[in-house]
Structure 1
Amino acid sequence: MLEIYQSETYAENNPGWHEEDAPWKAKQIAQIINKNAITFDTLCEVGCGTGDILLNLERSFGFSKGYGYEVSPHAYRRAKTKETDRTKFHLESVFDTAAAPFDVMLVIDVIEHVEDYLGFAKQLRPLAKYKIFHIPLDLSVQSLFRERPIMNLRKGVGHLHYFFKESALATLRDCGYNIIDHAYTAGRLELPNQATSSKLMKIPRRAMFALNQDLTVRILGGYSLLVLAE
């Protein structure tokens, strides 16, 4: 699937590169960092897109250097125009950089796109002390029953792998990570520009989530998993 990012295909399907989601994602990341009292001086993002998550975090934390790595020339060109004194963007694989190891590495909505996601996750582990993953939980009772949501994700945004909470955590543990903390994030409830079906599901998702988080996510979907790991 790498070619859809190196060509214009992904940009044509997603012209905004999800920039409108960046403040919300940065907020989730900041919360898990602050909750676990993580201090850091260097921050890296793998698959940084147009850079807005890093730039939002720059406004919240006093790190000295931020590094964004992106393989899409289209996204990189947009990110490059936003560089600051502290945050720089690079059109290269993080595995080719000489700047590692980092204090904190962000892997936000990435592993589901990578063909060899197990090998990818294993290679990332030594590149930073702390890793923060955001993994869509695409597998739920309703998504399997309806079929279309998963197939739309595959066609529209290039998801190749589909997770539920336990399989996502098992994947990271199997790749040698120590899980420090994890939390659900409610993208379908809180992000802008949601489909009509997601808007209709807000009330039942909120009501059920207040009673039983795991059961709600497993049945109704609409959530992702944020994981802090070493």
Structure 2
Amino acid sequence: MMSAPAPSSVYEDGRYLEQNPGWHEEDSPWKAAHVLRMVSAHGLAPRSVAEVGCGGGMILVELAARMPEAELTGYEISPQAFARCTERSRERLTFRFEDLLQTDARHDLLLTMDVVEHVEDYMGFLRGLRRHGGLHILHIPLDLSVQTVLRASGPLLHARQKVGHLHYFSRETALATLTDCGFEVVDWFYTYPAPGAPGRRLRTRMAGWLRRVAARMAPDLSVRVLGGSSILVLCR
């Protein structure tokens, strides 16, 4: 009997690109804005910024325009994604077709944006990341909520089959995982999909509006029950 291919192979053999032809680049301005919000809140001025699993590189493109003193580097292991991002190289912004964990590189600020949930050995991955960054900003989707669990084969399996999520987190398990892997959590906040994000169906936009209203009144309860959010975490 032939063994099944490793889940990570979808990023290297083109299957992920087939499922996600835009490589989620439409979310890049929104994600970059949250990174900048955290950077500003803590008065950070990193001279070197890197992103592991940078995809098409558009988060770094957005940051390069707003962090003029920083040298930015993107690391990517998917040949299809690297072909997209390398075309966006420019002064102070470079991309590398390699696994950051296999290098000796270290950066003042290391970004890991919606990557942890895709990695089979996610705790080994996180432990390996620590030595490559002085500070870390991670964005982790919170797939676990009352509504996603009750809907059985709905959202969780969709996240697995469509966008490759192998692990599902709540706020509590995401933060506990980071602590267990040796990180010190400095700050965190919830993020919610942008109201006018392109490609969202009407039902999705309506659900997002309801979540944002509920989050203003009771953010923790809203996230636990309705889901649809992520968490941005600053660690050292």
Q: TM exceeds 0.5?
A: yes
- Residue in 1 that maps onto 2:3: none
Which residue of 122, 130, 133 maps to 2:135?
130
- Residue in 2 that maps onto 1:157: 163
Contact 1:50 1:79 in 2 (8 A): yes
| Alpha-carbon shift at residue 64 of structure 1 (Å) | 3.6
RMSD across aligned C-alpha pairs, in angstroms?
Answer: 1.2
Cα distance in structure 1, aligned partners of 2:192 and 2:75: 26
Cα distance in structure 2, aligned partners of 1:192 and 1:87: 26
Cα distance in structure 1, aligned partners of 2:109 and 2:205: 34
Contact 1:113 1:161 in 2 (8 A): yes
> How many pairs does the alignment contain?
229
Which residue of 114, 139, 142 maps to 1:109?
114
Cα distance in structure 1, aligned partners of 2:19 and 2:56: 15
Answer yes or no: is 1:209 the counterpart of 2:215.
yes
Contact 2:30 2:194 in 1 (8 A): no
Contact 1:183 1:226 in 2 (8 A): yes
Cα distance in structure 2, aligned partners of 1:162 and 1:72: 23
- Residue in 2 that maps onto 1:31: 37
Which residue of 177, 188, 210 maps to 2:183?
177
Which residue of 136, 140, 149 maps to 1:144?
149
State the percentage of identical aligned residues. 42
Answer yes or no: is 1:14 the counterpart of 2:3.
no
Greater Cα shift, 195-204 or 21-30: 195-204
Which residue of 77, 83, 98 maps to 2:83?
77
What TM-score do you get using the length of structure 1 for normalisation?
Answer: 0.96
Structure 1 runs of 4+ aligned residues shifted over 6 Å read: none
| Residues 96 and 63 of structure 1, relative CA distance in 2, 3 Å threshold | farther
Contact 1:184 1:223 in 2 (8 A): yes
Cα distance in structure 1, aligned partners of 2:194 and 2:41: 23
Contact 1:189 1:222 in 2 (8 A): no
Contact 1:104 1:129 in 2 (8 A): yes
Contact 1:133 1:227 in 2 (8 A): yes
**Where in structure 2 are there 5+ consecutive unaligned residues?**
1-6
Aligned residue type for 2:110: M
Aligned residue type for 2:40: N
Cα distance in structure 2, aligned partners of 1:113 and 1:146: 22
| Alpha-carbon shift at residue 34 of structure 1 (Å) | 0.5
Cα distance in structure 2, aligned partners of 1:203 and 1:102: 37
Contact 1:188 1:198 in 2 (8 A): no
| Alpha-carbon shift at residue 200 of structure 1 (Å) | 2.4
